[in-house]
Structure 1
């Protein structure tokens, strides 16, 4: 099985993203330039905080013009896709019925943990559009759980029992596009666990569409090292019971 290990080293301190930002003068200067450029084209961006601007800047390697274009595209998309400001449960009813997404606990740096059970995902009459709304619904739930100054989250993608009936390439690519185009620098790490061999067929199709920054955040974890790998970054008190921790799985729509 193809194994991908993150090259990102883990800082042992509990410094938040906000605290880390305060001392970076180069980023501050570029954020100021970006803010000026964006506000002239979309005055609503005046309400956006500096950490949000920084995420888009980092996604474009601190290129102000590219980051500004990316952010303006995000603002336009958000207004059109979420005109009421949030996604209601009734708009993602088929997705919620599958009971496949959970949210509880945090890693050792205070980042929220989401768990997705891939074997519970099936295509339905709501199609890819409802799935995309569900991704936005999920992200908004995760962000609401974040501590002040925190920006990123961790996902455990559990593929135990996954089969071809669960394979939904359109949905996978839709989720990937949303993460990369509209939610840059939000995902800290994706642990893929219990991945069956047949999953690699779908993975080979999706992999070329994953940008290099995102690839470094994806970790395939073998069954023998599952608990020890997760415990390196998540305290036992914050780890779901199914992985040897102490927390029950809580459906995201109940959070």
Structure 2
């Protein structure tokens, strides 16, 4: 188990076993019957330190209770047109599964604009996807493959990366902070594809700032990444932007391929219908109320803050001489 010893797991379990309601109830939604794997994830996130991992997990459980995360899959974003707008501006979806049974999350990182709804809706949608992954997709995959499957892989498309992406750093930092503190070690590997020169240059600077366990997870693939990704997944599970015959764009599938970001994609239809059904089970009478699900966001970790600052600095270098310095200056002021 790498840096995690069996002794550390046993010590951690002895500390977490006495936890009382309502923390015990929400912990069941976290581990989904895979207790050891869950303890290992939190231990890895704290480099095997039992005391720090215990604090991290208890903080996570308290965050879940205080923000009613257990109920978030019964809080649909309505009307459907609003959810469609969220999907069109936060490009993420599930394109299929790896040959090992891990869900393949496709992310159009560079072309996501996050400009069609309030921050609360994007945070709500992101957490819902996390919870659906952990409570529905992963248990289903575990049953199908006859072994615990507790992680996923992510393919990040950098098509269209440009300076305007800096305006989304604050929201991306919020999302990554939620993931780091409450859904640690849920991604097995990050595959970066369609990376332009500007990304490659920034990556060289950001990479040393990442923890070693994070650096090892990131693989920057040449071009669309199709050849490398086909070693771990079938063609049918390949995100549309990785297919050489496709458009090469996150926004458009092209040539008849399914756009896994679209609200009309089977994954998003299943997710949205599941959330609506859960809402009707809780409130069978009366229309579903509109309104975002507010979640308290923890302070970003120092590592994440430093990475964001470094990215701004590096993009600033590219902006000089290209008429982009003023927008960068405004971004720096807004972030203070």
Q: Quote how far apart the aligned CAs of 1:235 are.
A: 2.5
**TM-score normalised by length of structure 1:** 0.74
CA shift in 2, pair 1:82/1:217, >3 Å: farther
* Alignment match, 1:111: 102
Pairs within 5 Å for 1:1-255:
25-26=6-7, 29-36=10-17, 38-39=19-20, 42-44=23-25, 47=28, 48=31, 49=33, 50=35, 51-83=37-69, 85-87=71-73, 88-90=75-77, 93=83, 94-98=85-89, 100-124=91-115, 126-143=117-134, 144-146=136-138, 147-148=141-142, 149-167=148-166, 168-199=168-199, 210-223=210-223, 226-244=225-243, 248-251=258-261, 252-255=267-270
Q: 1:64 to 1:236 in 2, by over 3 A?
A: same
Alignment CA distance shift 1:129-1:113 (3 Å)? same
Q: Residues 112 and 26 (structure 1 numbering): CA distance in 2 closer, same or farther, change over 3 Å?
A: same
Report the 3-state secondary structure (helix = DSSP H, G, I; strand = E; otherwise coil) of the residue aligned with 2:155: strand
Q: CA deviation at 1:157?
A: 0.7
Cα distance in 1 for partners of 2:67, 2:116 equals: 19
- Structure 2 unaligned segments of length 5 or more: list them: 143-147, 245-255, 262-266, 271-336
On the 8 A contact 1:33/1:64 being kept in 2, the answer is no
Are the structure 2 counterparts of residues 229 and 28 from structure 1 closer, same or farther at C-alpha, using a change threshold of 3 Å?
same
Residue 180 of structure 1, CA deviation = 1.6
CA contact (8 A) 1:153 1:187 kept: yes
| Gapped regions of structure 1 (runs ≥ 5) | 1-19
CA contact (8 A) 2:105 2:154 kept: yes
The number of aligned residues is: 232
Q: 1:122·1:165 contact (CA, 8 Å) conserved in 2? A: no
Q: How much is the aligned-residue C-alpha RMSD, in angstroms?
A: 3.3
Aligned counterpart, 1:15: none
Offset, 1:163 = 2.2
Distance 2:259 2:151 in 1: 20
> Quick one: distance in 2 between partners of 1:249 and 1:237?
12
Asked which structure has the greater CA Rg, the reply is: 2
Contact 1:152 1:185 in 2 (8 A): yes
